[in-house]
Amino acid sequence: MIQQLKLGFVNAFLVRGTKAILVDSGTPGQADRILRAAGRGGVSLDDIAAIIHTHGHFDHCGSTAELRRRAAMKVAIHVGDADKLRSGRAALPHSTSLMARAVLAFVNTSFEPVEPDVLLNEGFDLRQFGLAATIVPTPGHTAGSVSVLFHSGEVIVGDLLFGGFLGGKLLPTWPRYPALADDYDQVRASVEKLLGLGARRFYLGHGGPLDYKQVLIHLSLRVPRLTHPAGAPASI
């Protein structure tokens, strides 16, 4: 079960199997807000077994250090973004959006660094947390961006796609390519990869969620050939 935690302009996610995991931790200073939201769903601090990061930016890793100080939880990120988490300083990709550039000029993008416990790679299996889900590397926004793909077809993609404008405040279910990315060709290929693996509902770092049909239409993507039987991305 995926619970979207709205933390201002960014989303984190609480996912429950036999154990609970967090996907991303918002900006710095959000630990209390995350724990209050988790508590409302019956999940306490000690129930959270791990924080999995979709990528290494300040608005997705910002409260990880504080959460781990309070309880023993594994901290996981793809090797391609591990240095961002280790240093707490990730230069953001160049943005094609004037508005994003203007806003980011005033934002402190550093955060308290954390040494990761687990380096994620293709096919990393979340069964150890009682979740029917795997990690799919989906580079483009950053080199080490990953998605969490559930056998149900739900997928948490971080900043691979944006929903709407102003961090999802406006038109949150309008699919867009991210306002900043290291490599837009890779972004497109990663979205197509997920569609080919059976992704049907996209949960985003900003705005969302999105239905895959809207993604196909708005982003003019080719209709993917499924690379596995629908809803069972087990062979990645």
Could you tell me the smallest distance in angstroms from the CB atom of residue 126 to Zn ion? 22
Which of 101, 43, 106, 48 is CA-nearest to residue 72? Answer: 48
- Check binding of 172 to Zn ion (CB under 5 A): no
Of the two residues 205 and 208, which places its CB atom closer to Zn ion in the complex?
Answer: 205
Contact 167, 9 (CB under 8 A): yes
Which of 17, 29, 23 is CA-nearest to residue 4? Answer: 23
Site for Zn ion in 126-155 (CB under 5 A): none
Could you tell me the smallest distance in angstroms from the CB atom of residue 230 to Zn ion? 29
Stretch that binds Zn ion, among 22-30, 51-59, 104-112, 186-194 (CB under 5 A): 51-59
Q: Among 57, 68, 84, 193, which residue sits at the site for Zn ion (rule: CB under 5 A)?
A: 57
- Tell me the C-alpha distance between 15 and 48, whole Å: 9
Contact 25, 112 (CB under 8 A): no
- Tell me the C-alpha distance between 142 and 5, whole Å: 23
The two three-digit tokens of residue 153, written as one number: 């077809």
Stretch that binds Zn ion, among 15-23, 29-37, 197-205, 217-225 (CB under 5 A): 197-205
Interface ranges with Zn ion (CB under 5 A): 57, 59, 159, 205
